[in-house]
Chain A
Amino acid sequence: MMAMEKKTISVKTQIILTVLFIVGVCILFFIAEENLNSYMIRIVSLIGIFGIMAVSLTLINGVSGMLSLGHAGFIAIGAYVAALLTMSVQQKEASFILMGVAFPINTEALSSIPFFWATIAGGSVAALMAFVVGWPTMRMSGDYLAITSLGFAEIIRIFLLNWNRITNGSLGLKGIPSYTNIWWSWGWLLITLLIIGSFAKSSYGRALRAIRDDPIAAKAMGINVFKHQLTSFVMGGFFAGVAGSLYAHWLTSIDPKPTTLGIMLTFNILIMIVLGGLGSLSGAVLGAGLFAVLSEFLRFVESDMTLFGFTIAGISGMRMLVFSALFIIIMIFWQKGIMGRNELTWNALYRTISRFKRGGNHGK
């Protein structure tokens, strides 16, 4: 028997490759900004935003194994906080036609704040909210946690809907400055991946995966299950808030409808992470990319088509049908998502390439 040698690349090479990869992506974005139309560029930045949402939910859902359905609640908080901070006083006065603006947010000090700090603030408030929500709910698990977190997200949405003097009620916020571009969204995605990736790969990440596999055994091995789950929940909440801020400045108008910042968004993110593979961060980004691209580029199926000389009128909603069918097909072929629980690392890539070189003697 030939000794199985582990194919690995040194840490140094991996770092160099990663930096080169990031530089390469940056150059690609420069070229894209020059050549693509603004619609395409918007889609590219949307992929980044969806990526952050998916990665943060992966930390909670995939790595820690908590089925949280309240992600859109944290996204909404981040979106509202950041949007209120970056809007100018005039803009607020103009759009709050229902009951006027309440005191703290109509001051100069809390308006027209730089985008970066507004995003940080949005993330922080979302993290705080995740802590408040997580404190009681982290004592539950499985279906109970799912329902409770769903309930909390709805409570947040109802608050946004009815707190007229702060959130402008059902009209929502309009005229949010359109700050989000490729650089902001992908820059934040990079930060998210670095921090959550580093966390998930550390001893804490291992403890979280241990809790996911068997909470009772994890407790018996000295891991404070509650504290660790709360930490990951708050961390996921922070980046959900960040994604919310980016999303608000991408949409430029937000409202508390279920379809924009409500339950539908949560399910869309869930689709992304299941598609990419539960528990895989790179899978989450892949899933987000696939979701954003498919949902936009499948629009052509809704236009009028000519088949064999007959013109068929476009059916609106057809896109979602094809979309769902595609997902079902993908889930049939990749039952654990595209990446499963594996990560797309240089080592994995290297191993795959060297396997191909040797003629695929390990292949099925």
Chain B
Amino acid sequence: MENNQKKDILTIDNMTMRFGGLVAVEDFNAVINQGEILGLIGPNGAGKTTIFNVITGVYKPTHGHVYLEDKIIDEYEPHFITHFGIARTFQNIRLFKTMTVMENLQAAMHYELVNTKPDKIMNKWKRTKKGATDLWFWKSVFKLGYFKKEREQREKAEYILEKLGMLKHKDEPAGSLPYGEQRKLEIARALATTPKLLLLDEPAAGMNPSESVALMNLVRKIRDEFNVTVFLIEHDMKFVMGLCERIIVLDYGREIAMGKPEEIRSNPKVIEAYLGEEWKDVVIS
């Protein structure tokens, strides 16, 4: 058990991301352990979402690498990254609005039908057998063995929705759900891709205190039930301090602190980054 806890799932090694002359993230190192809830905080514009975008393949890092279980993933397209087992939610909700809740989850499971062959070296990541794409294309059109797959998808989706307490909404259009439910649906949709690592980009944004407490419990529950590792960005300090086991603090693209919530709370560098130089002594004393 102890050994299992220490196993790292994602390693970011000396990663730098530049946009022209602007350095968004510089020399960022991080290790995410299996099964933990890791928080990433920092003032606005510190480069938090950039780090998420690098992990999920939206940006290719200027320097350095991202490893998922010892394998480089930073050179792959975003959809491959999902096949490897990393799923994410978005800061501004990006649901498939015209589709129902069930369809949102099924769309996230669609990739399981499709052959993924990123690289010969990456053979280990192959999810389905070769040629599955063409086969499933024709099978989908002519409905051969298709209903079974469809039923399996629906069962899995219902299981996820039930765990998140959203089963009653399953046939409603995603766009018509209340805000908090839409946030939850984003998490549910990410879970539908069977991830090992779940990236949550400001999951509690726009939530009232009671909702965010409920979300805290939900994230813990998800971690245990679905056996995922959670890496999240959040501005709500109460939420981060209450939920995360470890926190990384970012300022101007550089990591300034890393550790347990209580260590972060009293770290002078963190206070300086958030409140400015002159407040440092006041808060600590």
Contact = CB atoms under 8 A, between A and B. Distances in A.
A209 B137 contact: no
A216 interface: yes
Contacts of A209: 96, 98-99, 103, 107
B99 A219 contact: no
Contact of B150 (A198, A203, A341): A203
Interface of A: prevailing SS: helix
A134 to B, nearest CB: 16
A245 B90 CA distance: 46
29 contacts: A6-B171, A198-B141, A202-B143, A202-B146, A203-B110, A203-B113, A203-B136, A206-B99, A206-B103, A206-B106, A209-B96, A209-B107, A210-B104, A213-B95, A214-B95, A214-B96, A216-B90, A216-B94, A217-B95, A217-B96, A219-B77, A221-B87, A221-B189, A221-B192, A222-B82, A222-B193, A223-B79, A223-B111, A224-B111
A198 B140 contact: yes
Interface string A206-236: 1101101110111111111100000100000
Listed residue (B56, B88, B140) with the most chain A CB atoms within 10 angstroms of its CB = B140
A204 interface: yes
A220 B78 contact: yes
B79 A219 contact: yes
Contacts of A219: 77-79
B153 to A, nearest CB: 8
A195 interface: yes
A206 B114 CA distance: 13
Interface residues of B, number: 40
Interface of A: 6, 195, 198-199, 202-204, 206-207, 209-210, 212-214, 216-225, 231, 341
Given A209-B98, A213-B97, A222 B110 contact: yes
A304 B149 CA distance: 63
Nearest to B142: A198
Interface of B: prevailing SS: helix
Given A209-B98, A214-B94, A214-B96, A221 B108 contact: yes
B141 A207 contact: no
Nearest to B98: A213
Contacts of B104: 210
Complex A-B, nearest 5 residue pairs according to Cβ-Cβ distance, in ascending order: A222-B111, A222-B82, A202-B140, A217-B94, A210-B107
A125 to B, nearest CB: 21
A224 B107 CA distance: 12
Contact of B79 (A198, A203, A206, A224): A224
B107 A218 contact: yes
B83 interface: yes
Given A213-B97, A220-B90, A222-B79, 19 more contacts: A195-B141, A198-B140, A203-B110, A204-B137, A206-B99, A206-B107, A207-B107, A209-B99, A210-B96, A214-B97, A217-B90, A218-B96, A220-B79, A220-B94, A221-B107, A221-B192, A224-B79, A224-B111, A225-B79
Contacts of A212: 98
A272 B263 CA distance: 65
A224 B114 CA distance: 9
